[in-house]
Amino acid sequence: MRSVLFVIILLALGIECQAGPTDITVTTGTCTASVVRIDSFGRDAEVVAITFAWTSSTLGNVTVALPAFHGRLARVVTNPGTTAPTANYDVVLTDVDGVDLLAAKGANRHASNTESFSPFSSDGTTFTPMVMAGTSSLAITNAGSEKIGTITIYLER
């Protein structure tokens, strides 16, 4: 039922989601998602914030298959919850090609501080924002047993 509601919210907000309700799957731990459209601040691009509230399994992990989101990853915020995850827990957002869209910046997150970063790929000279263009999977690891937190992904479209 949560999957159906999530897709209905995405469609109502006009967010490009090409997956059906059965394509949203939490296989480890628990996770819910909410989507908020943010003002474009007079720019041509629109910003959408997708927040994932998660609780890790007894083994300290969360695994979620996501529908097809499209846009440039402008910013990612990790926020440990009141039952804080273990120090240096990891967040990976993997696309269908196996590429970590967070460019390894989701590694070693702080256990009590909110942290923010902008993922990009780089050859040492040129910095290119990472782009979500299709289905992906979100994995939180090493968080500790039944710990909570949120991850907010800001997509610019």
Q: What's residue 40's pLDDT?
A: 63
pLDDT, mean of residues 56-78: 94
Give CA–CA dist 8/43, Å, rounded. 27
Check whether 6 has a pLDDT greater than 80: no
Check whether 3 has a pLDDT greater than 70: no
Q: What is the CATH number of the domain that holds 142?
A: 2.60.120.380
Check whether 11 has a pLDDT greater than 50: no
Q: What's residue 111's pLDDT?
A: 95
- Looking at residue 7, the DSSP 8-state letter turns out to be H
Q: What's residue 41's pLDDT?
A: 63
Q: Per-residue DSSP letters for 83-95?
A: SPPPTTBEEEEEE
Q: How high is the mean pLDDT of the chain?
A: 84
Residue 119: left (phi > 0), alpha (psi -120 to 50), or beta?
A: beta
Q: What's residue 126's pLDDT?
A: 86
Q: CB of 106 within 8 A of CB of 100?
A: yes
Domain span at 79: 2-156
Backbone φ and ψ of 15, nearest 5°: -80, 135
User: For the chain, what percent of residues have pLDDT higher than 70?
Assistant: 81
State the total domains in the chain: 1
More confident residue, 36 or 146: 146
Q: What's residue 24's pLDDT?
A: 58
pTM of the predicted protein model: 0.81
Check whether 148 has a pLDDT greater than 50: yes
Q: CB of 110 within 8 A of CB of 82?
A: no
pLDDT in tens, 85-136: 999 999 999 999 999 999 999 999 999 999 999 999 888 888 899 999 999 9
Q: What's residue 16's pLDDT?
A: 40
Cβ neighbours around 146 below 10 Å, total: 14
Q: CB of 34 within 8 A of CB of 51?
A: yes
